[in-house]
Amino acid sequence: MVKLNANSKISFKIGRQIWSYDDERLLSKRNWLNTAMSYDGILSSFKLEKAEIDLGISINNNKENHFGNDYREIVDYKIDDSTGIVTPVYNAQKLKTLNFLYFKYPFSDDLYLSYISLLSGAQDINSDSKLFFKLTQGLNVFYKSDNLFGHFSGYFQMGENQQGKEVVAYMTSAELGTKLSNNKISVSFGTDVISGNNYESNNYDYSKLDNNFDLLYGARYKFYGYLNHFTLTDRHTKNAGLVDLYFKSGYNITTKTKIEFHYHYFQTMYKAINPNGGFYDNFLGSEIDVVLSHKFSKEVLLKSGFAYGLPTNILAEFKNVKADMVNPFSSYLMLVVTPKFFY
């Protein structure tokens, strides 16, 4: 990645880079994976008197020095029994193009407003050149003072999905919290709502319409429980949307040691269709997460976590696992080292 400064207020980044904004709902580094998320593109940054504006553009190819090539991935091959002809089976989960405009305006040191407009293009699985575009726009308000914090975010999405269906979807997120006992204790309540298809209504033709909100390259793990049940919210809710009601608390044991407790209550926004007839119940289960962290220095952090799930048989069926399995759990121990090479 190369950074070019036109002057003190205008700069450009060209090449592979991290795009991460606000709380990473749409664009994130997603560094919980073995390899973090990065973007190949051009980022133009403009600093005004108080506001900040970023403009990002990216077009992805599988081959060097070739513009507009097929960006699908071959995941399998299919053989015609009658002719013996072998044809590839494609997957096109990665976005061919991702472009955004981001605006941030701080009203004070405690409060800021941001706006993002993101145009994403995904390749048609059955075509080597056709793209389907989605436009996602959203507003965010973040507040943080000595003893009070919170946020509200609202996003609207329109365009076409990879099957060519019209997309009309939305997502909202809100959280309000406070700090107690000289900031040793924090408590917050929040909710996320991700839209889905209302199959009980006769007002929609879902052969042509999709109400599922696409999180694009946004973070999942840090929002929807550390068991990662909802990495693909459309598939893992049977296209019925997701509602996450949560409670979070934290306690600073010392200035360097902290313990956190999270509780999630999950349900679908609407009732999903049961292939055996009727509809599934909305409730999907709950989850408890506990994280203990100790900071040895500015550069070295040790974290351990434990996540325990209480899923319903409905979620087990959605995830294609046996309903009589023991409740899922996960634990980890992680050492984070962030050295600073240049001072």
Cross-strand pairs, 247: 189, 263
Cross-strand pairs, 15: 41
SS3 34: coil
SS3 244: strand
Angle in degrees, CA 20, 21, 25, rounded to 5: 95
Output the CA–CA distances (angstroms, integers) from residue 148 to 6, 140, 184, 226, 264, in the order listed. 39, 17, 13, 25, 21
Distance CA 158, CA 136 (A): 7
pLDDT tens, the chain, 343 aa long: 898 988 989 999 999 898 999 999 999 887 766 667 788 899 999 999 899 999 999 987 766 655 556 676 666 677 877 777 777 666 666 788 899 999 999 999 999 999 999 999 988 877 777 889 999 999 999 999 989 999 999 999 999 988 889 999 999 999 999 999 888 999 999 999 999 999 998 888 888 899 999 999 888 888 999 999 998 888 899 999 999 999 999 999 999 999 999 999 999 999 999 998 899 999 999 999 999 999 999 899 999 999 999 999 999 889 888 766 668 899 999 999 988 776 5
What are the two backbone dihedrals, phi and then psi, of residue 156, each rounded to the nearest 5 degrees? Answer: -125, 140
Angle in degrees, CA 292, 255, 294, rounded to 5: 30
CA–chain centroid gap for 330, Å, is 20
Give the pLDDT confidence score for residue 289 in this predicted structure.
97
What are the two backbone dihedrals, phi and then psi, of residue 233, each rounded to the nearest 5 degrees? Answer: -65, -30
SS3 181: coil
Alpha helices in the chain (DSSP H): 233-236, 313-318
- Of 223, 132, 206, the closest CA to residue 172 belongs to 223
Are the beta carbons of 336 and 303 closer than 8 angstroms? yes
Give the pLDDT confidence score for residue 127 in this predicted structure.
75
What are the two backbone dihedrals, phi and then psi, of residue 294, each rounded to the nearest 5 degrees? Answer: -135, 130
Note the pTM of the prediction, 2 decimals.
0.89
As given in the structure block, the two tokens for residue 134 are: 């989605």
User: At CB < 8 A and 24+ separation, what contacts does 176-183 make?
Assistant: 176/149, 176/150, 177/148, 177/149, 177/150, 177/248, 178/147, 178/148, 178/149, 179/146, 179/147, 179/148, 179/149, 180/147, 183/146, 183/147, 183/252
DSSP string covering 114-132 = EEEEEEEEEE-TT-SS-EE
Angle in degrees, CA 283, 286, 290, rounded to 5: 170
Give the pLDDT confidence score for residue 182 in this predicted structure.
86
Are the beta carbons of 99 and 58 closer than 8 angstroms? yes
Give the pLDDT confidence score for residue 47 in this predicted structure.
94
Return left, alpha or beta for 200; rule: phi > 0 is left, psi -120 to 50 is alpha, else beta: alpha
Q: What's the DSSP call for residue 316? A: H
Distance CA 310, CA 313 (A): 10
Q: Which residues contact 306 (CB under 8 A, 6 or more apart)?
A: 289, 290, 329, 330, 331
